[in-house]
Amino acid sequence: MTAKLLERARAGDGEAFGELVEPHRRELMVHCYRMLGSAQDAEDALQETMLAAWRGLAGFEGRSSVRTWLYRVATSRCLNALRSGSRRPATVPAWTNTPEPTRLGEVPWLEPLPDSALEGLADSAPGPEAQYEASEAISLAFVTALQLLPPRQRAVLILRDVLGYPAREAAGLLDVTEESVTSALKRARAATREQMATATGQPAAPAPGSAEEQDLVERFTRAFESGDVDGIVALMSEDAWLRMPPLALEYQGRDLAYRFFTAIWAGRSYRLVPARANGQPAFGVYVRDPQAATYRAVGLLTATLAGQQISELTQFETSVLPRFGLPRMLPG
């Protein structure tokens, strides 16, 4: 069937080309997301991939599967995007009365990915040499760590340890030697382990949708909507992080989290709308408008869980809300 579709597609049959590539579209989009750290950039790269694949179909000689060939094209387009130098710069807000941050974040841009984009990917089993489980390979912590790698190392780590391609095939996908793949992978693994070291040894997160996860989400929602800063901080682990990409500020620990929330909370009333991002709980965050009977969106908040505690809270800008089907305003 694939051979017939390929023959028709090469003859200019757009419908046949669609049938050929559609089974791989979702996983290619997630691949581009891992490479670029942004759902919007990933969609743009995916569109460029499909256009390049259509135009380059005559050059596909069938020495690999269509899936592998598409990964080659997608990886090339993502590397081009990373080399373009058009990534967004980090910024620091002009807030007052907030504590000094623990550090300034190194990741210049990051966006969450709705869990709806991950549906059906469990059927796309990685190769035998994959090192990461599917849930870990899409977590915000892992995607963040990837963004700190040089582009070539990032591609090698994803191809080898996430998708499970053997070194020889990964080298072919990147048009480099097998030795260079092995060298790049060694450096990428070391850097990623260092970046994710804080997660090592933490209790496992409750299973998605489990009673344990739901209980923690409900307690957090009650504390947040009632303005109970003590209650929010009590749910966080001692070394929990508070991050706000693309803002460069990062806070660690309950004390700084308490001081930060207290500084920005005064006199405000919030509502949370549940969502899911990168396999973890998320919330649309809305603040009451004192001039109208409405709540306006202020961003999307994701929660990384460790046991029955929150190990990280990450606040994203309102621009990501439409991707999660969340409105900009709520009735009062």
pLDDT, one tens digit per residue, over 171-214 is: 999 999 999 999 999 999 999 998 887 665 678 889 999 999 99
Neighbours of 58 (CB within 10 A): 8
- Cα distances from 212 to residues 177, 204, 217, in angstroms, run 47, 12, 9
Mean pLDDT, residues 217-228: 95
The mean predicted confidence, pLDDT, of the chain is: 88
Q: Which domains does the chain have, with CATH numbers?
A: 2-198 (1.10.1740.10), 211-331 (3.10.450.50)
Q: What is residue 250's predicted lDDT score, i.e. its pLDDT?
A: 86
Q: Where residue 123 falls among pLDDT bands split at 50, 70, 90?
A: very low
Q: What is residue 108's predicted lDDT score, i.e. its pLDDT?
A: 62
CA distance linking residue 47 with residue 149, whole number of Å: 24
All residues at 6 or more sequence positions from 11 whose CB lies less than 8 Å from its CB, including other chains: none
CA distance linking residue 139 with residue 156, whole number of Å: 18
Mean pLDDT, residues 89-100: 57
Out of 79-83, 109-113, 210-214, least confident range = 109-113
Q: Is 64 exposed, middle or buried (0-12, 13-18, 19+ CB in 10 A)?
A: middle
CA distance linking residue 19 with residue 2, whole number of Å: 9
CA distance linking residue 101 with residue 43, whole number of Å: 33
Q: Where residue 107 falls among pLDDT bands split at 50, 70, 90?
A: low
Looking at per-residue pLDDT, the higher value among 142 and 268 belongs to: 142
| pLDDT exceeds cutoff 60 at 289 | yes
Q: Is 244 exposed, middle or buried (0-12, 13-18, 19+ CB in 10 A)?
A: buried
Q: Where residue 308 falls among pLDDT bands split at 50, 70, 90?
A: very high
Please tell me the pTM assigned to this model: 0.90
Q: Work out whether strand 103-104 and strand 249-252 pair parallel, antiparallel, or are unpaired.
A: antiparallel
